Amino acid sequence: MGCITVVLCSDLPRFCLERWQSERETRARILLSESGVEPLSLSLLEEFGVNVELVSVELGYGWTKGSPGLRSAIAEYHDGVITREHVLVTVGSSEANFLSVTSIVKPGDTVVVDMPAYMQVHGLLETRGARLYMAWRSPENEWELPLADLLEFIQTKKPRAIYLVNPNNPTGRIERENVLREIAREASKTGTIIVVDEVYRG
Ligand SMILES: Cc1ncc(COP(=O)(O)O)c(C=O)c1O
């Protein structure tokens, strides 16, 4: 018999967006807050030539780190820079975000967060006791990351980590590759870890 333990963490700040959405999205006639695309049905996928034959799929306990085939495919997707051993498959991006904050950040660490952004990481970092620096994007700059500020912050404060959302939710901005490379170059000098939530990639 399985068992689920629910840990109530009263320190977590209220995740206003998710709460607001959960209360309304199932009963809204017109949903304006959705950030994904209209879901496809299995029959439509089949029309597109995808094999959706599911009757022989075993409904057993899965691989804890993700199936070896999936982890290899993810590693290949990253152009061979990593191997399957580097890949951990999680249940949605929110679990990955949770694990990255709890494994990378300690109380008192200085951490940069992308703003505006999906606020899960922000809330987790607050609870973790991190010192947050908000890297605010602005509409005048077409929501580009504030590169000059970021580079200066990395050089002077040597943050433990930088959390980015790219493509960015809610602005829709996809950052230019040279901007990301500059941030990566500077971060590698200070040992700063860059975590990029790419849930909307592709
Ligand atoms: C940027 C971002 N990351 C993570 C999530 C949560 O993703 P998942 O449902 O895969 O856990 C969302 C959901 O809206 C999101 O916008």
Residues 38-51: tens digit of each pLDDT: 788 999 999 999 98
Contact predicate 113/134, CB 8 Å: yes
Mean of the per-residue pLDDT values of the chain: 92
Q: Is the peptide bond before 170 cis (omega within 30 degrees of 0)?
A: yes
Q: What is the mean pLDDT of residues 72-87?
A: 93
For a mutational test of ligand 1's pocket, the pick from 120, 165, 171, i.e. the residue with the most ligand atoms closer than 8 A to its C-beta, is: 120
Closest residue by CA, ligand 1 atom 15: 118
Task: Estimate the crossing angle of helix 147-157 against helix 177-190, to 10 degrees.
Answer: 10
- To which H or E segment does residue 135 belong? strand 131-136
Closest residue by CA, ligand 1 atom 7: 93
Q: What is the mean pLDDT of residues 141-152?
A: 98
56 Cα to the center of ligand 1, angstroms:
30
CATH topology assigned to domain 105-202: Aspartate Aminotransferase; domain 2 (3.40.640)
Rounded to two decimals, the pTM is 0.89
Closest residue by CA, ligand 1 atom 2: 118
Ligand 1 pocket (Cβ < 6 Å) reads 35, 92-94, 118, 165, 169, 197, 199
Distance of CA 32 to the CA centre of its chain: 22
Q: Give domain limits for the chain.
A: 63-104, 105-202
The pLDDT score that the predictor gives to residue 1 is: 43
pLDDT of 11 strictly over 80: no
The string of pLDDT tens digits covering residues 63-76 is 999 999 999 999 99
The pLDDT score that the predictor gives to residue 99 is: 97
pLDDT of 9 strictly over 70: no
Closest residue by CA, ligand 1 atom 13: 118
Give the position, in ligand 1's atom list, of the atom nearest the Cα of 36. Answer: 14
The pLDDT score that the predictor gives to residue 149 is: 97
